[in-house]
Amino acid sequence: MLISTQIRLQTGPTFVGDGDSDKYLMERLQARPSQQLGNEFVASCMEYITPLSPRLVLDLLEKEGWKVVQTSTLVKIAAGTFLVGSTGLYLAQKSVQRRVRNLPHYSEGLRIVGEHNQAREALGPPIQVGSVDLADRRHNYVGKTTSKLRIPVTGTVACGFMDVMAVRDDETSPFVTAKIRLVLDEDAVSIYDTGKWKEVDPAHV
């Protein structure tokens, strides 16, 4: 069992399990299932997130009889298979990136920005698009009825991010872009807004 947080010294939430984890243990850790970006393509990649801090999680696990092993020990154990494992991880990342780019609101967001004169002038054409950070679960996720993508964009004048927010009626319906926000330096400007987007906690989507 591997426990991780999103940023160093974070008080919570804490990632404590996946789709194969013991549901009763997850309940005792106050963890709830969460579907993050890419998980709709791989059913077994569901994650469990608890609002508890890592220290509280470790205390609870110790009471359950679990033993804490340092990450360095795990690295030594896995050293023999690291090369194969890292290659598989790279291929998986590339596959998810392709699927992300096939999402309807990804391409729709790029089209809207490309047709927005002020956005083009602020960035400076030609505009290049980078890969989304799959580890950034706050800004990149796909839920049942909401999705958010933070797409890196770089132009000849400035660089930053394009936040694309989308909604859908249910899991069988395609996502429709609801809001686009251009983030340059410390400024964030909304360049497209249908009024249908409501800010949500990614852990609860």
Separation of CA 193 from chain center: 22
pLDDT at 40 (0 to 100): 46
Radius of gyration over alpha carbons of the chain, in Å? 19
pLDDT at 133 (0 to 100): 85
Q: Where in the sequence is the domain holding 171, given as residue range(s)? A: 103-193
Asked if 32 and 10 sit in the same domain, the reply is yes
From residue 186, alpha-carbon distances to 7, 159, 189 in Å are 20, 11, 10
Among candidate residues 155, 163, 151, 156, the one with its CA nearest the CA of residue 187: 163
Taking a C-beta distance cutoff of 8 angstroms, is the pair 14, 53 a contact? yes
In a domain, 142, yes or no: yes
pLDDT tens digits, 133-177: 878 888 889 988 999 999 999 888 888 999 999 999 998 999 999
In a domain, 204, yes or no: no
From residue 201, alpha-carbon distances to 31, 164, 198, 204 in Å are 15, 16, 10, 6
Asked if 189 and 118 sit in the same domain, the reply is yes
Among candidate residues 123, 25, 21, 16, the one with its CA nearest the CA of residue 65: 25
Residue after which a domain boundary falls, among 102, 119, 146: 102
Asked if 61 and 73 sit in the same domain, the reply is no
pLDDT at 204 (0 to 100): 53
Asked if 168 and 113 sit in the same domain, the reply is yes
- Cα atoms in the Cβ-side hemisphere of radius 13 Å centred on 189: 11
In a domain, 25, yes or no: yes
Among candidate residues 169, 152, 167, 173, the one with its CA nearest the CA of residue 199: 167
Asked if 109 and 187 sit in the same domain, the reply is yes
Integer Cα distance of 186 and 162 in angstroms: 13
pLDDT at 167 (0 to 100): 95
Asked if 126 and 182 sit in the same domain, the reply is yes
In a domain, 127, yes or no: yes
Residue after which a domain boundary falls, among 17, 49, 66: 66
pLDDT tens digits, 35-92: 554 444 444 456 778 888 887 888 887 777 776 555 444 444 444 444 444 444 444 5
Number of domains making up the chain:
3
Start-to-end CA span in the chain (Å) = 24
Asked if 108 and 89 sit in the same domain, the reply is no
Asked if 50 and 21 sit in the same domain, the reply is yes
Asked if 188 and 108 sit in the same domain, the reply is yes
